[in-house]
Amino acid sequence: MHADIGLSSVPSEPAVATLIQAHEAWALGKTTTASRLLDQSRNEGIDTTSFSEEAALLAADLGAPPRTFKPDPPYPVRLRFVAIWELRRK
């Protein structure tokens, strides 16, 4: 985790913490840093977590082709569903 970004409530999963940092970099307009951190998050296993849709959404925001996901039936996690919906809009 990068010391310059103070994330005291970051989940203990390293891939999730790195994904959060990637989102923060993207929000600050630092797309090169965001892409690097997204790649790092993927290397740390983000695609095997319940945050895989968020990683795909950030990738699409950074210019990658959007991926498609199916909601988890019968009761999808709402935050995951929001990412799935946003990816369909791209």
Residues 14/21, Cβ–Cβ less than 8 Å: no
> What's the CA gap between 37 and 46, in Å, rounded?
11
Residues 68/90, Cβ–Cβ less than 8 Å: no
Q: What is the pLDDT of residues 24-63, one digit of tens each?
A: 999 999 999 999 999 999 999 999 888 898 999 999 999 9
Average pLDDT score, the chain: 82
Q: How many CB atoms lie within 10 A of CB 3?
A: 5
Give the pLDDT of residue 73.
62
